[in-house]
Structure 1
Amino acid sequence: MHLIHTTVVGVLLTLSLSVFAGTAVEQRIIDEALTPLYSPHRAATSTGKVIPEHRFDDAKVCSGCHSDIYREWRSSMMSHSWDDPIYRALLSRASKASDGALDSFCTGCHTPTGLMTGQVTRADNQSPPSVNNPETDLPGVDCESCHNISAISGIDNGSYVMNDAGEKRVKYGPRQNAQSPYHETAFSPLHTESAMCATCHNVTHPLNGVPIERTYDEWFESPYRTAGIGCQDCHMKPVQGNSAIMGPERADRATHWFAGGNTTLLEHFGHQENAKRARALLQSSATIELIDPPTSLTAGQRTTLSLKITNTGAGHKLPTGFPEGREVWVDIKLSDANGKVFYRSGAIKNGKTEPNTKNFMVKLGDKNGKKVEVEVWRVTHIMSDNRILPKGHALVDYAIDIPADVQGPVAVNASVNYWPFSQAFVDNLLGKNKLTVKVETIVSLAKSFKITPTKSSPERLAKH
């Protein structure tokens, strides 16, 4: 048995050291002969055995030396990846629906050390915490989760190798000259690469191979990779400072805010300052402009307005991740001189964007061809994906009937909005009025048009 474990680990380490080349699909390492220790999650340990709980420290222990990094991490979604009420409510449903078969698949990226040690139980998975008091005694993606990873065996479904160095407590990181009086240190090129993020930010359906999430692949196939800009450059933006209180000051100390776009949950957990960072990141991701706008609008006639939305700042598709929820859409309104709105598209009705909204998202389908919105374990295929590519753009057109009696000037106000999940989605999972979803405006546009009078009558306009 020991020989088998040694051979498996050797293969994993050899694969992790190979040079990645070609497309993201070509470089994905999947060896069906390997039996993951935590199936269907692809995580492994360096010994091929479960790691004892006492080998992992609580993040508060790390804060004794890494105070700034701990403070940043504690206000991030990484810190709350386990007690996130949306995740836990989904996990509970998935666990019950699959009779526990999907438990490890989910928990391996939401509480890695909880999975490694076997602390997570089916009762944990099926009992989501209170929305008002969600924290539990299990860590999320904490210090030990990342800094004990010594290799990867692939780029999806948690295919990391967690090192068990016994009582030596070796921590892996991006520095060749790091020293610590508490634990041993080891330089890890992996911790400087986007592939480190891939293992949990590429998600493949464990039963049928459907590519559920592909944030890493989206980046890999983007201009950002070829320009040498990786995940950490945006989400762990470096600053000048000390990694540890006794360590040297560095010009490129990686921040651990892990800025993303989920202001709803950041504010739910009370992290207002980090929510501002997330909001700023969202607002840097896109632009909007009118293409070939008319010089004026003619009363009683139909006009077409064309908008161009460009993904200028996200190194992946806009939006990315968690396809059950992520949505970007255009909310456009036209109003007369008195402020009366006579045209709108993109309003929220019944907790969702209204029908015919110009939106950008992934739609997942089941075996009957029906859209899957919550029960992601039933997904059998991708129905559609019209998200905006990195440095790409989308054109949306609106055919608008201008009222014959409109009083000008007419104001056009359009905004590109985002939410991590719809209010209807949250209400379905948690119950009505348990958590309010914040709609974030990424970018907006305002323009005024003069009105050209016409002899067109309302009757003629209706026939037109």
Structure 2
Amino acid sequence: MFWSDPTPFPLTVPVSLRTLRSRRTLLLASLFALTLGCNPSEHPSSPETHSEEEEAGTIHGRVIADGKGVADARVRIKGTTISTRSDADGIFKIDAVANPQDPPTVTAAKKGFFIQGTVAETLPVVLELQSIPSVDYEAYKWTDPHPDETKDHNCGNCHLEIYEEWTSDAHAHSATNPRFLNLYDGTDWHGTPNVGWNLLEDYPEGAGVCNSCHAPSASLDELAVEDIRNIQGVAKEGVHCDFCHKVQDISTEAVGLAHGRFGMSLLRPDHGQLFFGPLDDVDRGDDVYSPLQSQSQYCASCHEGVIFGVHVYSTYSEWLESPARQKGLECQSCHMRPTGKMTNIAPNSGGINRDPHTLASHQFLRGDREQMLNDCLQVESDVEFMEEETEAEIRITTRNVGHRVPTGFIDRHLILVVEAFRADGTAVSNSDSELQLPERAGDSSGKAGKLYAKYAPDNGEPRPFWQLEQETIDTRLLPDHVEQQKFQFGSDVDSLRVRLLYRRFWQATADEKQWPENEIVVYDETFSRPTKSTSPQVSPESDPVD
């Protein structure tokens, strides 16, 4: 035996995988001869030959740790979809027929252990797992994400395609995002001080409130109290590669109250390296399989937050209540969905070719925000021009989304705007005053429409979340939901325009801060009164996005 545990094993003598395959070839040749007229009774198959034929193309072995079998370990032919689980004694049998490698590499992974791999040159295969450290080393020096030929271990040197995806996403700029810093220190887009909302002025004692999510790899001394503008080094790179892959666990006991880093358990080594990740066959010796990386729980501590008593971020709790969760979909199912283009995460640096549909994207807003909005929103307009009135029925369907729309920062909102015009271009008022947009809708206020947002119940100018003192109203769109609104206008309507606008921030705030690109047009369609011989037409000038 090859282990101290006396558990019986079906193969006790090492056998070459090539030998088994050659014997299988001979057996197939014999079977072919039988089809040409040989008498089967003259050449009986021996039990030994039959057994070897069954074993050909399979790999047997055992996963052990400290001399004992490891149950339920994930065993895989490296780089393929061929996998199995070890039994209660750590024993496994895996089919390798479809694998082009000869002999293949077999890997084993289990929570709490480094991934182990070996070339299956002889059978049985023994995979001995090593435990990961039990203590987080706080003095660990974070690895820089940016490519740099003078620094061998920078993430972007080997993982360039993933690095480029990450740099295009907000996570890479969470500590340096200009709009975020403008709200934080009261500057505008051009750096002019004392313009509009200013967290530091209103709450100087809360200078560090943003750090645990926006700069989570800062030192413990900096996390709670430091001005985020003073944080330097790799921590200034925001939510970076090395930080994410050092997260061992996420607590959901105080989700929303323990923010960012304070809701996470990290595991950093005092020597060498250690990376948690979603692949279970990366057998370099410093990688650990982590199913958490593919679960919504991983996102919870940063994407759920009650700050200064206000429920500012609620994406995780929205997912908990969503149909998407009931269907088994995680945040990563949409936001890290494979592009189908990447085939190797570390080309020319030891990486292997893989099925592109097994490699997660690190561009969390697929394409861009406009594309994500169009993926999850469908707008339909039915407009009827009658003799006595004009009626518009608008349906907004949310689809392929696991949270409310919009979600994230509390000020994001959608505005449905419905405008009716006479032939001379003058506006026609909506007959229902309850379907008129409030002042906070900016240049659309007073027009017919509906606001989908999370806001204070007063009708005044928008205020920053840290000044809110009461419960908010939440009219944002629910996932997998059809929102239907009906608008009625007079008989003198010649054309009617329907728009759905997405705004990152309230228009008054964006204007004051001089922020560009605050609005995305999700849907824009104009309908014209038909002549007696035609049906309602969409104007050529309209711009339907969906």
Is the Cα–Cα contact under 8 Å of residues 247 and 267 in structure 2 kept in the other structure?
yes
Q: Choose from 188, 202, 206 the match for 2:304.
A: 202
Are the aligned partners of 2:439 and 2:460 in contact in 1 as well (CA < 8 Å)?
no
Q: Give a deviation string over 1:335-385, Cα, whole Å, max 9, x none.
A: 4556665458779999554145411000136xxx68683432233333310
Give the match's secondary structure for 1:284: helix
Q: Return closer, same or farther for 1:393/1:438 CA change in 2, 3 Å cut-off.
A: same
Instruction: Name the residue aligned to 1:91.
Output: 184
Which stretch of structure 1 is more off in the superposition, 277-286 or 63-72? 277-286
Question: Could you say which residue in structure 1 is the equivalent of 2:397?
Answer: 310
Measure the CA separation in 2 of the matches of 1:177 and 1:138.
32
Aligned to 1:250: 354
Partners of 1:179 and 1:283 in 2: how far apart?
Answer: 40
Q: TM-score, structure 1 length as denominator? A: 0.69
Alignment deviations for residues 161-181 of structure 1 (CA, whole Å, 9 cap, x no partner)? 22222223211110111134x
Letter in 2 for 1:98: Y
**Counterpart selection for 1:375 from 464, 467, 480:** 464
Kept in 1, the 8 Å contact 2:216–2:239? The answer is yes
Q: 1:121 to 1:52 in 2, by over 3 A?
A: farther
Structure 1 match to 2:521: 441
Change (3 A) 1:137 1:161: closer
Instruction: Tell me, in whole angstroms, the C-alpha distance in 2 between the residues paired with 1:144 and 1:76.
Output: 16
CA shift at 1:239, angstroms? 3.2
State the partner residue of 1:281.
372
Matched, 1:329 2:415: yes
- Provide the secondary structure at the position in 1 that maps to 2:169: coil
State the Cα distance separating 1:441 from its structure 2 match.
2.0
Question: 1:234 and 1:341, CA in 2 relative to 1: closer, same or farther beyond 3 A?
Answer: same
How many residue pairs get aligned? The number is 364
Q: Percent identity?
A: 24
Runs of 4+ that moved beyond 6 A:
344-350, 369-372
TM-superposed CA distance for 1:149, in Å, is: 0.6
In the alignment, which of 483, 486, 499 is matched to residue 415 of structure 1?
499
1:446 is displaced (CA, Å) by 4.1
Give deviations 1:275-304, integer Å, cap 9, x for gaps. Answer: xx322111122122235x54x322xx4444
**RMSD of aligned alpha carbons:** 3.4
The match for 2:445 is 354
CA contact (8 A) 2:208 2:222 kept: no
- Determine the C-alpha separation between the residues in 2 that align with 1:377 and 1:235: 29
Selected match of 2:237 from 120, 134, 139: 139
Partner of 1:269: none
2:125 is aligned to none
Q: Per the alignment, do residues 375 and 281 of structure 1 end up closer, same or farther by CA in structure 2, a change over 3 Å counting?
A: closer
Q: Structure 2: how far apart are the matches of 1:278 and 1:376?
A: 23
Equivalence for 1:54: 141
Aligned-pair CA distance for 1:327: 1.1
2:336 counterpart residue number: 236
1:217 equivalent to 2:317? Answer yes
1:216 match: secondary structure: helix
CA contact (8 A) 1:331 1:347 kept: no
Look up the SS of the partner of 1:249 in the other structure.
Answer: coil
- Aligned-partner SS, 2:271: helix
| Residues 216-265 of structure 1: per-residue CA shift (max 9 Å, x gap) | 111221111111222112111113421222322222211111117xxxxx
Query: How far apart, in 2, do the equivalents of 1:413 and 1:370 lie?
Result: 26
The AA in structure 1 aligned to 2:305 is: V
Is the Cα contact below 8 Å between 1:114 and 1:120 reproduced in 2?
A: no
Tell me if the contact between 2:420 and 2:497 (Cα under 8 Å) persists in the aligned partners: yes
Distance in 2 between the 1:386 and 1:288 partners?
17
- The one-letter code sitting in structure 2 at the alignment partner of 1:315 is G
Q: 1:95/1:169 Cα in 2 relative to 1: closer, same or farther (>3 Å)?
A: farther
| Alignment pair present for 1:297 and 2:386 | yes
Which amino acid is 1:231 matched to? C
Aligned pair in 2 of structure 1 residues 126, 165: CA closer, same or farther (>3 Å)? closer
What is the TM-score of this pair, normalised by structure 2?
0.60
CA contact (8 A) 1:311 1:392 kept: yes
Helix, strand or coil at the partner of 1:381: coil
Find the aligned partners of 2:208 and 2:227 in 1 and give their Cα distance.
13
Q: 1:94-153 deviations in whole A, cap 9, x for unaligned?
A: 2343233x33331111111125573897454489x9xxxxx9981111102211111112
Could you tell me which residue of structure 2 aligns to residue 266 of structure 1?
A: none
| AA matched with 1:253 | L
Give, in whole Å, the separation in 1 of the partners of 2:146 and 2:219: 16
2:248 aligns with 150
1:37-95 deviation per Cα after TM superposition (whole angstroms, max 9, x unaligned): xxxxxxxxx8578x336244344310111110001111111111111112112223323
**Which residue number in structure 2 is paired with residue 18 of structure 1?**
none
Contact 1:352 1:424 in 2 (8 A): no
| Larger Rg computed on CA atoms | 2
Q: Is the 8 A contact 1:176 1:187 kept in 2?
A: yes
Residue 305 of structure 1 deviates from its aligned partner by 2.5
Q: 2:509 aligns with which of 415, 422, 425?
A: 425
SS in 1 for 2:402: coil
Describe the SS at the equivalent of 1:288: strand
The runs of 5 or more residues in structure 2 that have no matched partner are: 1-133, 148-153, 186-197, 431-435, 533-546
Match of 2:478 in 1: 389
Relative contact order (C-alpha < 8 Å, sep 6+): which is higher?
1
Tell me which residue corresponds to 2:79. none
Distance 1:224 1:123 in 2: 38
1:172 alignment partner in structure 2: 276
Do the aligned residues in 1 keep the contact of 2:209 with 2:224 (CA within 8 Å)? no
Q: CA deviation at 1:191?
A: 0.2
